[in-house]
């Protein structure tokens, strides 16, 4: 049987109540209790493996959603995640039906009940109820990205947060534009694993980004014909989306512009989206890069724009 203090099942109640089953975790008043317990990984490079997924969801988009969920945490910490296809992984993500040998009290209960549960380090497992209707957007069904990101937090050693807007809050959150980590999430993961090695974290209201360069100008205050004549301090504003390519270059999107931060921490831009991706609309909602086909995928509203190669 599972020790309740070593696993955190999360469940969903339909009218805004806490995840049923959250009592199996010690819900702390502050995330500093994570520091005292020190349930963490003692390495910075972790592998993960997606064992299976709901049959009705496109494989490539599922992998992108999982990758993006891990990137939420790696973008604000010293952790680095790598997906593996077959070999043993530090963190395993699996969809199960009903009783799946985690103990009768942790058996999944069909649609509308328990969504998932995860184990603290260093067991490295997160289980998801395959009877639930999962979604990759903000439509009907439980959003796979949101629940996945929450469960990954548990596998990294984070407990439930008392901050209502935090991803690690014991409340299910719908996916919306600008879905990001809360301050409490960022402080909690950094207490365990430190800040990103690529630069100090710049905290903005509701959002967090790494600072790579200094600057004095805001893009909104410059004329369009001056766009190539200044170095924009992109950490001083909100962004539409971010992603990383297979060469570890960080792409930052804002309005009709984008910037590139190389692995060596040098930043270039802004560039016009239309120059590199003709036909791509401004102010995208989200983006992801697939190492499998070396393409960028962009999302705006219900539209998906894909097939853009490097």
- Cite the active site residues: 151
Closest by CA to 175, choosing from 151, 152, 147, is 147
150 annotated as ligand-binding: yes
102 annotated as ligand-binding: yes
132 annotated as ligand-binding: yes
99 annotated as ligand-binding: no
Tokens of residue 25, six digits: 């975790």
110 annotated as ligand-binding: yes
109 annotated as ligand-binding: yes
63 annotated as ligand-binding: no
187 exposed, middle or buried (CB, 10 Å; 0-12, 13-18, 19+)?
buried
Q: Is the dihedral of CA 66, 69, 75, 77 positive or negative?
A: negative
Element (H, E) at 117: strand 114-119
194 annotated as ligand-binding: no
129 annotated as ligand-binding: yes
Tokens of residue 59, six digits: 């494989």
| CB 78, CB 195: distance < 8 Å | yes
Closest by CA to 77, choosing from 171, 167, 14, 153, is 153
Closest by CA to 232, choosing from 221, 250, 249, 217, is 217
Please enumerate, by residue number, every residue annotated as part of a binding site for Zn(2+). 100, 102, 117, 127, 150, 154, 160, 168
Q: Which residues are annotated binding-site positions?
A: 90, 100, 102, 109-110, 117, 127, 129, 132, 150, 154, 160, 168, 240, 285
- The annotation places the binding site for Ca(2+) at 90, 109-110, 129, 132, 240, 285
């Amino acid at each position: 049987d599972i020790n309740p203090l070593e696993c955190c099942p999360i469940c969903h109640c339909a009218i805004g109540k806490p995840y049923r089953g959250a009592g199996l975790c010690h819900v702390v008043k502050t995330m500093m209790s994570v520091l005292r317990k020190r349930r963490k990984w003692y390495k910075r490079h972790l592998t993960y493996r997606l064992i299976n997924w709901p049959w009705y969801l496109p494989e490539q988009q599922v992998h992108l959603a999982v990758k993006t969920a891990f990137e939420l945490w790696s973008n604000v910490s010293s952790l680095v995640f790598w997906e593996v296809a077959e070999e043993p992984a530090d963190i395993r993500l699996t969809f199960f039906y009903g009783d799946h040998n985690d103990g009768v009290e942790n058996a999944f209960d069909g649609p509308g009940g328990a969504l998932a549960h995860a184990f603290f380090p260093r067991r490295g497992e997160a289980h998801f109820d395959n009877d639930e209707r999962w979604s990759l957007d903000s439509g009907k069904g439980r959003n796979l990205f949101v629940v996945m990101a929450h469960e990954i937090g548990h596998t990294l050693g984070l407990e439930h947060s008392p901050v209502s807007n935090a991803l690690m809050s014991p409340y299910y959150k719908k996916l919306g534009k600008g879905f990001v980590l809360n301050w409490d999430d960022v402080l909690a993961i950094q207490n365990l694993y430190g800040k990103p090695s690529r630069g100090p974290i710049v905290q903005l209201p509701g959002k967090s980004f790494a600072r790579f360069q200094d600057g004095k100008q805001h893009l909104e205050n410059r004329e369009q014909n001056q766009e190539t004549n200044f170095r924009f301090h992109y950490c001083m504003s909100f962004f539409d989306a971010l992603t990383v390519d297979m060469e570890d270059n960080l792409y930052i999107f804002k309005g009709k512009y984008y910037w590139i931060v190389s692995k060596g921490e040098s930043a270039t831009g802004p560039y016009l989206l239309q120059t590199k991706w003709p036909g791509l609309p401004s102010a995208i909602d989200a983006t992801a890069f697939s190492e499998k086909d070396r393409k960028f995928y962009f999302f705006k509203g219900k539209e998906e724009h894909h097939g853009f190669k490097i």
